Amino acid sequence: MEKMWAGRFEQALDKRADDFNSSIHFDCKMYKQDITGSMKHAAMLALQGIISDDDCDKITAGLQSILDDLNSGDLAFDMEAEDIHMFVESELTKRIGDVGKRLHTARSRNDQVAVDIRLFLRDETNEIIALIRELLAAILTQAKAHKTSILPGYTHLQRAQPITFAHHLLAYAMMFTRDIGRLEDALRRMNYSPLGSCALSGTTYNTDREFVAKELGFDGITLNSIDGVSDRDFCVELMSAYSTIMMHLSRFSEEIILWSSWEFKFVELSDSYTTGSSIMPQKKNPDMAELVRGKTGRVYGNLFTMLTVLKGIPLAYNKDMQEDKECIFDSIDTLKQCLSVFAPMIETMTVLTDNMYSAAQKGFINATDLADYLTKKGMPFRSAYKIVGQIVAFCINNNLVLETMSLEDYNKYSDLFCEDLYNEISLETCVAKRISAGGTGIDSVEKQIEYVSTFID
């Protein structure tokens, strides 16, 4: 196929070079955005008297028919085309003749691709935000059902203090609410139209960039044409936000995997989100969570691809920038897949509250509360801490827990211990008395639920 830029060349492009150069097999993903951008560009050209209304109508109808045919599958992408922009333009000219050749007036592929990718990323990121909201809804369903289910909270993966399962889950919800914020921030910063920057320096035509920007839902136009065509900061920002989301999903996955093990058995994932083994008949493996954890690596890697591609590029457009797409497309596909299995996996998991509770009964996770008991009776906290340490050692040596040690034994350590200590160190009291703002007590958990609820619907 003859290249649109063939004019100044005497020899055809080598087949291998042509394949190497071509981006249609991945930038075809942006066909809707490319066609929409072209329609608005044509409308602007007509409004400004750069092309006739009649030509604009033909171009618009032609583009619409291409869009319809691509949507329905009646038209396939021509993999011989150099990229999506060339494909659409040559298809347009095939359909409406020479009028199609007027579309590329006062425009370059450099600003065209810059606008396409912004539009595409805006659409995809909004879908990602919607998926995060679904995940938040799933977390909330579980949190609401487990406001009083007690389990050990961990530090260093050692049993530390009793918490409720709702409180634990809501910690993840907080991460995902921040993720939405990060994505929205990035969207706000990138929502300016580069179209009309042309190749790099603007154009001699009397264009109306503001009109096109508004029509395409941008908040305004980019102010420097060189920056307009060469900026990919928004890709870096989004990919960094995508990586952070994956990091959150990966941490959550790690816990799901631990909780599903026989060693913990805090949750049982639904059959629909687990797999079996080809040899061990008893196995029920948390593959979805493991895959999410594993796929985090490629999303991080894609961020580094993008940063590295950009680091040595002089202004303005350079072909290196074509490498912006595959990595960010892969991150988007990966993230969307992960979020779409993660939400129902959380929603459908069975929480084994009895196992959580019995884990909480071991490990002296109410030791802080016993020290606080003495402190509230006047003993300095450091002294109380030391005594409780000795009591824990005594219990371990005598196969006791704090709840089963006799008052007589307690009084060997301090006269401040009375019968009421047993109530004070019950797991329920420990949790209920954590009334500090943001703590695991019920009022705080209710407040958190209310806050997270504002992020869904």
Residues that bind ligand ARG (CB under 6 A): 23, 27, 83, 109-110, 113, 317, 319, 321-322
Dist. CA 432–CA 326, nearest whole Å = 51
Question: Please, which residue, 30 or 421, has the CB nearer to ligand ARG?
Answer: 30
* Residue 145: φ, ψ to 5°: -80, -15
Contact 195, 209 (CB under 8 A): yes
Dist. CA 395–CA 298, nearest whole Å = 48
Q: How far is the CB of 16 from ligand ARG (least distance, A)?
A: 18
Q: How far is the CB of 151 from ligand ARG (least distance, A)?
A: 50
DSSP string, 131-176: HHHHHHHHHHHHHHHTSS-EEEEEETTEEEEEEEHHHHHHHHHHHH
Task: Report the alpha-carbon angle 389-392-393, nearest 5.
Answer: 90
Longest Cα pair distance anywhere in the chain, in angstroms? 102
Q: Which two tokens stand for residue 384?
A: 């109380």
Question: Please, which residue, 193 or 448, has the CB nearer to ligand ARG?
Answer: 193
Task: Report the alpha-carbon angle 78-82-83, nearest 5.
Answer: 80
Q: How far is the CB of 83 from ligand ARG (least distance, A)?
A: 4
**Set 156, 278, 406, 436: catalytic member:** 156
Does residue 277 have an active-site annotation?
A: yes
Question: Please, which residue, 109 or 293, has the CB nearer to ligand ARG?
Answer: 109
Does residue 156 have an active-site annotation?
A: yes
Q: How far is the CB of 249 from ligand ARG (least distance, A)?
A: 29
Question: Please, which residue, 83 or 372, has the CB nearer to ligand ARG?
Answer: 83
Q: How far is the CB of 109 from ligand ARG (least distance, A)?
A: 4
Q: Could you check whether the bond before residue 316 is cis, i.e. omega within 30 degrees of 0?
A: yes
**Set 272, 277, 340, 358: catalytic member:** 277
Contact 394, 409 (CB under 8 A): yes
Q: Is 333 left (phi over 0), alpha (psi -120 to 50) or beta?
A: alpha
The H or E element spanning position 421 is helix 421-424
Question: Please, which residue, 12 or 61, has the CB nearer to ligand ARG?
Answer: 12
Q: How far is the CB of 126 from ligand ARG (least distance, A)?
A: 22
Q: How far is the CB of 300 from ligand ARG (least distance, A)?
A: 23
Residue with tokens 């907080």: 174
Q: How far is the CB of 18 from ligand ARG (least distance, A)?
A: 13
Torsion of CA 289, 294, 299, 304, to 10 degrees: 150
Question: Please, which residue, 120 or 300, has the CB nearer to ligand ARG?
Answer: 120
Dist. CA 424–CA 223, nearest whole Å = 65
Question: Please, which residue, 110 or 274, has the CB nearer to ligand ARG?
Answer: 110
Pairing of strands 267-268, 350-351: antiparallel
CB atoms within 10 A of CB 433: 14
Residue with tokens 């801490």: 385
Question: Please, which residue, 92 or 139, has the CB nearer to ligand ARG?
Answer: 92
Please state, in angstroms and as integers, the Cα–Cα distance from residue 286 to each residue in 143, 179, 256, 262, 339, following that order.
Answer: 21, 25, 8, 12, 15
The H or E element spanning position 268 is strand 267-268
Residues designated as active site = 156, 277
